[in-house]
Amino acid sequence: MTELELRDLRKTYRSRGRPAVDAVRGIDLALHSGELLGLLGPSGCGKSTTLRMIAGLETVTGGDILVGGASVVDRPAQRRNIGVAFENYALYPPLTVAENLAFGLKARRGRDRKDVDRRVAEIADRVDLTGILDARPAGLSSGQKQRVSLARALVREPDVLLLDEPLSHLDAAQRDTTRRELKRIQRDLGHTTILVTHDQEEALSLADRIAVMKDGVIQQLGTPYEIYDSP
Ligand code: ADP
Ligand code: ADP
């Protein structure tokens, strides 16, 4: 079943006194339920813009975005049930790690306290945050912040998960562990995921399919085997 579909998705940035930037120039893509797509391409090719439009953090210039068959372009971000872990999508500084994770859950109706605590503990355990649940973001390393962002994206059990370079600040050992955990989470929970990365190993080990973007369009789409084995 198709879970996420992009139809001729476009974005032109216009600001006064500057030439318009056609950041995304017509993307068509269909991800089936539980699929993980690796999104690759050079800096400036439109990867982040694409993710931000899907998340509802950026308006759409043209085209459509469907989640579970329904168009979401007119829904605000908080009504899309899309989990995001972006570099510049900050954690709330006054809240502890546990509170940051609980925040998104409490915003949803029908969650009682015990249920929220259980869910936070479960995800903290999976992403190895148990020792820092009472810390505040300012006191964390960039690798720890990145794991908190990842946990926050996962905690709401989103329909769609969008990850922008989620492992870039981790050291080699942590990256290995977190990558393996991400793979397990993906297999267990079956999120439909787009993962932006420039790490070929990450793409190879995690992605079901890979899309290569260039100048605002998808230039290549296939299995990791097809992409990396093609001349
Ligand atoms: P990537 O994530 O692949 O590096 P981006 O989506 O960030 O690419 O950027 C695509 C293009 O859009 C680039 O030319 C970038 O400079 C431009 N761009 C991104 N965000 C904005 C913005 N808020 N205003 C104007 N131009 C932008
Ligand atoms: P990334 O490559 O991860 O998208 P960028 O450095 O391109 O990161 O963008 C960081 C922030 O700056 C984003 O919020 C983006 O919208 C904004 N931005 C990027 N390019 C431009 C631009 N040409 N004009 C205005 N804002 C921009």
Q: Residues with Cβ within 6 A of ligand 1?
A: 13, 21, 23, 41, 43-49
Express each pLDDT in 162-182 by its tens digit.
999 988 888 888 888 888 888
Residue 231 in this model has a pLDDT that exceeds 70: no
CA–CA gap between residue 41 and residue 197 (Å, rounded): 8
Neighbours of 9 (CB within 10 A): 25
Q: Give the 3-state secondary structure of residue 220.
A: strand
Rounded to two decimals, the ipTM of the complex is 0.77
Cβ of 48 closer than 6 Å to ligand 2, yes or no, is yes
The pLDDT assigned to 137 comes to: 93
The pLDDT assigned to 211 comes to: 97
Distance 48 CA to ligand 2 centre (A): 8
Helices (H) and strands (E) in the chain, counts: 7, 10
| 174 secondary structure, DSSP code | H
Distance 47 CA to ligand 1 centre (A): 8
The pLDDT assigned to 109 comes to: 53
Mean pLDDT of 85-111: 81
| 138 secondary structure, DSSP code | G
- For the four alpha carbons of 140, 143, 144 and 147, in that order, the dihedral sign comes to positive
Q: Whose CA is nearest to atom 5 of ligand 1?
A: 46
Express each pLDDT in 114-158 by its tens digit.
888 899 999 999 888 989 999 999 999 888 898 999 999 988 889
CA–CA gap between residue 147 and residue 189 (Å, rounded): 18
Task: Sort 222 into a burial class: Cβ within 10 Å, 0-12 / 13-18 / 19+.
Answer: middle
Whole-number average pLDDT of the chain: 91
The pLDDT assigned to 63 comes to: 98
The pLDDT assigned to 132 comes to: 95
Cβ of 15 closer than 6 Å to ligand 2, yes or no, is no
